[in-house]
Chain A
Amino acid sequence: MKIRHKILLAFAGLTISTIVIMGGLVYFFANQHSFEDFYKRLEIRAYLAAKATLPYYESDADIYNEIREEHLEKLPAEKEYFLKVDSTGHVQMHTDLNLPPSFYQTVLTQHLATHRQGNRFYEGVLYKSKQGLYVVIVSAINQYSEDYMAWLQRILLICFLISSVILIGVGAFFSRLTLQPIRHIMNQVKSISSRNLHLRLNMDNSGDELNELAGTFNNMLDRLETAFETQNNFVSNASHELSTPLTAIIGEAELALSKDRSPETYKKAMESILTEAGRLEHITKSLLHLAQTGFDGMKPQWQAVRTDELLFTVKDTIDKLIPGSQVNIDYSLFPEEEEKLTVKGNEQLLELALSNIVMNACKYSNNKPVSIALAATDKKVIIIVKDQGIGIPQQDIPYIFSPFFRASNTGEFKGYGIGLPLAMNIIRMHKGDIIVQSQVNTGTEIRVELPL
């Protein structure tokens, strides 16, 4: 069942049931009231009839009769009975009347009683006249309220039908109206495929929930588009990176073989081929690492790693790898307790990730001082790597973790764009996070967070 129909059903059910209950109550109370009203009328008639038929003074009878004839119209099938009560308190029964004994009993004790037989209503009163005690019973058919109730019933029924039709119509309209934006979004999303990922959903400034939904969709599309682009670029970048040294090797070899040369030239050629091959090996190795760390299924060995030792190892490695680098370890936030320094992870991988980050810091700052600080909260270890290098342009920061991406201001530095994605993969494997903050030409601060 569609939500539209559910809304319609709920709305119509709620309103129509309210109307039905209201109509029922109206009918019930009107019905009850019409009885009371009719009994009152019968009561008056009973007294009048008694006074006219059994007057204290003969002359009164005429007056009462006159009043009755002039001012009271005859009720449908109105009948009057005068039943004498004898001295033992026994009521003389009338043959036409078929009333229960309890009725007479009530009349005698409470001076007033009512009874109903189908459509016929009875009202009995106890009347004390000169001739003795009488039970005066007036009965009539309640034709007016009968008609009235039938009429009321008809009106209520018609009202119910009309309002139901209106409510269902309005409900259908409203359910369409409320779900209109969702259908709209659906249609727009349907039109977006891998070929036109640049399309976005329309958003207005109303700031309602559906707009937020559209915004969320757009965000997701942004990420999808980036991922798609990276994927697309990856192959071309990778083949480009691999083909550059290959071209150099082939060119060098062809040149050397084109004619006979002196041994020195051959040696030179071989040397340059060797460096290019080394570069090639480095790239393929990094790619392999990247592929391995990006693959979740592979679980390397996990052990407790002391992050402070990790920092010292990384500093040693960098000192050896990049002569002239100034890596300082900042002790100012070192926690006092050892257990705050130990994380679970693979030492080689973490070292690889961290040295990649620190190496980048050294490389892009032309060996200006780089500080590595270590701090620990109760749940995570934070490693802050700060340099005073060229920084990363703000618009490039979202992409620096995509393979082969290189920020726009890195032209004069050699690199393949593999280091940071590799580091990110490794840190993600450890359920950590890397947060980058940077200002162009001032420096970059990379915060690595590892859970304890």
Chain B
Amino acid sequence: MKNVLIPTDFSIRSLGYVHNVVSQYPDELVNVIFMHALRMPDSIFDLVTFTRNSRHIELITADFKDGCEIIRNKYASSIHQLKVEFFHGDTGVAFKNFCLANNIDVIVEPSDLEYNAPSKRSYNPGKLIKKAKLPKLAATLPGSRKVVVKATISSLLLTSE
């Protein structure tokens, strides 16, 4: 069983890296952990009223949830679990601790993710991933093709035309 971390901005496109992961480990059960990186709040009030997850859950769109379910149904036999975790912080040590806490084995390093921050505190954790010492899996989105409208479930499709 492998625990694989995939950075996400809650766009449907970022779900597409699961295809890579599954094809990389064809004979193994995989736990996929989608990580959304958020900066720590910098005002005292926000720190006092800081909660780990509840306030950020609304960042997860209904389409993203649908997409997760579709992926899980598609790879029902190879994906054991698929969950979303929020990573608060922007230092290498914090990231290392996060990986330790979640028992991460491999980090997916997306090479062609156009990161669109869904909230003010979100940021692209690409640099942190590059510095991390865990094994990495370079991934490109399968089938780069014209997408009629971005951010719909159809951007999960594989066939290239």
B27 at the interface (CB under 8 A from A): no
Q: List 7 interface pairs A-B (beta carbons < 8 Å), by A numbering.
A: A330-B158, A332-B158, A334-B74, A378-B73, A437-B148, A445-B148, A447-B153
Distance between Cα atoms of A336 and B70 in the complex (Å): 10
- Partner of A382 from B76, B146, B153, B161 at Cβ < 8 Å: B153
**A325-340 residues at the B interface, CB under 8 angstroms:** 328, 330, 332-337, 340
Distance between Cα atoms of A32 and B63 in the complex (Å): 73
- Partner of A333 from B146, B148, B156 at Cβ < 8 Å: B156
Minimum Cβ distance to chain B for residue A308 (Å): 13
Distance between Cα atoms of A378 and B146 in the complex (Å): 28
Write the B60-93 contact mask toward A (1 if CB under 8 angstroms, else 0).
0000011001100111110000000000000000
Which A residues have a C-beta under 8 Å from some C-beta of B? Answer: 328, 330, 332-337, 340, 369, 371, 373, 375-380, 382, 384, 386, 388, 437-439, 442-445, 447
The 9 A-B pairs at the shortest CB distance, nearest first, are namely A332-B158, A335-B73, A377-B69, A375-B70, A336-B76, A437-B149, A377-B66, A443-B148, A376-B73
**Contact A447-B161, Cβ < 8 Å, known A336-B75, A442-B146:** no
Q: Is there contact, CB below 8 Å, between B70 and A333?
A: yes
B102 at the interface (CB under 8 A from A): no
Distance between Cα atoms of A330 and B154 in the complex (Å): 11
B59 at the interface (CB under 8 A from A): no
Q: Is there contact, CB below 8 Å, between A386 and B70?
A: no
Distance between Cα atoms of A369 and B77 in the complex (Å): 31
Distance between Cα atoms of A437 and B152 in the complex (Å): 9
Q: Is there contact, CB below 8 Å, between A445 and B75?
A: no
Distance between Cα atoms of A336 and B71 in the complex (Å): 10
Distance between Cα atoms of A313 and B151 in the complex (Å): 30
Q: Is there contact, CB below 8 Å, between A336 and B73?
A: yes
Q: Is there contact, CB below 8 Å, between A447 and B152?
A: yes
- Partner of B154 from A337, A379, A438, A447 at Cβ < 8 Å: A447
Minimum Cβ distance to chain A for residue B23 (Å): 12
Minimum Cβ distance to chain B for residue A31 (Å): 51
Write the B132-161 contact mask toward A (1 if CB under 8 angstroms, else 0).
000000000000001011001110111101
Distance between Cα atoms of A447 and B152 in the complex (Å): 10
Q: Is there contact, CB below 8 Å, between B148 and A377?
A: no
Q: Is there contact, CB below 8 Å, between B73 and A445?
A: no
Distance between Cα atoms of A336 and B161 in the complex (Å): 24
- Partner of A369 from B74, B156, B161 at Cβ < 8 Å: B161
Residues from chain A with a CB closer than 8 A to the CB of B158 are 330, 332-333
Residues from chain A with a CB closer than 8 A to the CB of B154 are 373, 384, 386, 445, 447
Distance between Cα atoms of A223 and B80 in the complex (Å): 46
Residues from chain B with a CB closer than 8 A to the CB of A332 are 74, 156-159
**Contact A336-B152, Cβ < 8 Å, known A330-B159, A369-B161, A384-B157:** no
Minimum Cβ distance to chain A for residue B69 (Å): 4
Distance between Cα atoms of A335 and B70 in the complex (Å): 7
Q: Is there contact, CB below 8 Å, between B73 and A439?
A: no
